[in-house]
Amino acid sequence: MTQFQRGYSAQEDEISQLMGEALELYRSGNLDRARRKGEEAITLCRDLAAVEPDDPQHQRVLASLLYNHAVVLNRMDRRAAALAAVQEASRIYEELVALDPAFEPLYADAQTRVGATYTGLGRTEEAVACHRRAVSTYLSLPPDVAVERGIARAMSLLASALEADDRPDEAMAAADDALRRYADLDARDQLPLDAAGFYALTARTLARLHARRAEYEEAASASAIAVTVYRLLLEQVSPEWGEPLAAAVGERAAHMSAAGRPEEGLDQARDMLHLVRSLDERQPDTYMTAFTRLAAVVATLEG
């Protein structure tokens, strides 16, 4: 028996090592290698779970592996495979909830990932159902900061799914709710930068929905939030946020123009272009992609 335990420990160590390698490969953009490492870890974990089917630890690790694997597959645009992986993860978490309610946040998070994958596949009605389950699960949990962030993110994704499912009134209610939650977290300094992208995404969703109603002042106000958040992310996190910043600047300019104030939108676009130019001067070529995208927005608006 002792030998088996040592064997299992070695196998668990190997799984952990593969998980770490897959994560590093994913972060560095080596997606196919990350996928293969993830698959190796999943196979090993399934073997452990088959030998010790009553050990919930193996199931927990397997669910985590499948969840991360789905992230990689989605990034590779292999959405059908990603859906199968994350659905299995969600089912495992749901079974673990029956053993320990502490797994409910992980189940809710997996449901948001299932919903986002459904949206990517154009299966918007199923996406809405998943995000509603996620919101409902989060709302049933004792409140804390992590749960509050989870509710805001799930509500934001629900709004996007409802918009994609052509249910604009419900989408606006969800987006407005999510934006208020993010604004409250931000005001309390409890919104980390790695979660702020969803704050901006929610603002853009709400802006589109207001514009759809020809409520252009409200649309401009919402898109202004997106521009502010993306600017912060560009300056403090990564130059890769330049692309969504440029998109948000263009959207706000369109809303300002529709509201009868086109020069204000253009002025902000020029300000953002000047900012990115100064950032690139301090770190040559780092922000060139962002600069190019914003320059294109400004050129379009000036034309």
Coil vs helix vs strand at 210:
helix
Res. 12 pLDDT band, cuts 50 70 90? confident
- DSSP assignment of 69-126 equals HHHHHHHTT-HHHHHHHHHHHHHHHHHHHHH-GGGHHHHHHHHHHHHHHHHHTT-HHH
Q: Measured in whole angstroms, how far is the alpha carbon of residue 145 from the centre of its chain?
A: 18
Q: Three-state SS for 287?
A: coil
Q: What is the pLDDT of residues 97-134, one digit of tens each?
A: 999 999 999 999 999 999 999 999 999 999 999 999 99
Contacts of 289 (CB under 8 A, 6+ apart): 239, 242, 243
The tokens describing 253, both together, are 């300019």
Read off the pLDDT band of 10 (50, 70, 90). confident
- For the chain, list the domains and their CATH numbers: 8-162+170-175 (1.25.40.10), 192-303 (1.25.40)
The model carries a pTM of 0.90
Give dist(CA 44, CA 21) in Å, integer.
15
Give the separation between CA 183 and CA 150, rounded to whole angstroms: 14
Give residue 11's pLDDT.
83
CA 162 to chain centre: 16
pLDDT band at 54 (very low <50, low <70, confident <90, very high): confident
Measured on CA atoms in the order 179, 183, 185, 190, is the torsion positive or negative? positive
Cα–Cα dist 256/233, whole Å? 23
If pLDDT is split at 50, 70 and 90, which confidence band does 49 have? confident
